[in-house]
Amino acid sequence: MMIFSRTFCPALPLISALSLLFLPLSSWSHHGWGGYNSDIDTSLVVTELRLGGSHDQLTAIDEQGNEWDLVLAPPTRNRRLGFNETTLSVGDQIDLIGRLHPSKPEIKVHCIYMSAEVLYTYYDYDGTTSLSKHSNRTQC
């Protein structure tokens, strides 16, 4: 016969309350453009494609050899608009317009160009472009 002991941990209610408080903050910090505070218009070379998950992502390097994480819109939205695994390849030279993360080498991408052709535009859920909302330009 097993006997289970029920002991009360006095810190458990406090830990639970703090967890509930910070859970929304972790989800909020992932979304939105608020923390990305300066514009960038640059040329990069694609080194990795990670399509899927909560957002499509690319890794690319600039002319100085710095590596950048590029965050795109969610995969379902991108696929609906034609951006997929055949749009770009590792080694492609791209130009982009985006917003810089303040503390890490990450760019939320507004537009991607290759040979002056627009290959990608970040469209928000309401059909407007991120560029029109977060810069003084209206389209890529």
Query: Per-block average pLDDT, block size 10, for the chain (140 residues)?
Result: 54 44 40 78 97 94 97 94 95 96 94 95 88 82
- What's the predicted TM-score (pTM) here? 0.75
Q: What is the pLDDT of residues 87-122, one digit of tens each?
A: 999 999 999 999 999 999 999 999 999 998 999 999
Please give the pLDDT value at position 139: 77
H/E element holding 85?
none
Burial zone of 58 (CB within 10 Å; 0-12 exposed, 13-18 middle, 19+ buried): buried
Backbone φ, ψ for residue 105 (5° rounding):
-75, 70
Please give the pLDDT value at position 8: 53
Give CA–CA dist 109/97, Å, rounded. 6
The angle subtended at Cα 97 by Cα 34 and Cα 68, nearest 5°, is 80
Please give the pLDDT value at position 17: 43
Give CA–CA dist 56/126, Å, rounded. 19
What is the separation of C-alpha 91 from the centre of its chain, rounded to a whole number of angstroms? 21
Please give the pLDDT value at position 10: 59
Please give the pLDDT value at position 137: 79
CB atoms within 10 A of CB 4: 4
Q: What is the 3-state secondary structure (H, E, C) of 26-66?
A: HHHHHCCCCCCCEEEEEEEEEEEEECCCCCCEEEEECCCCC
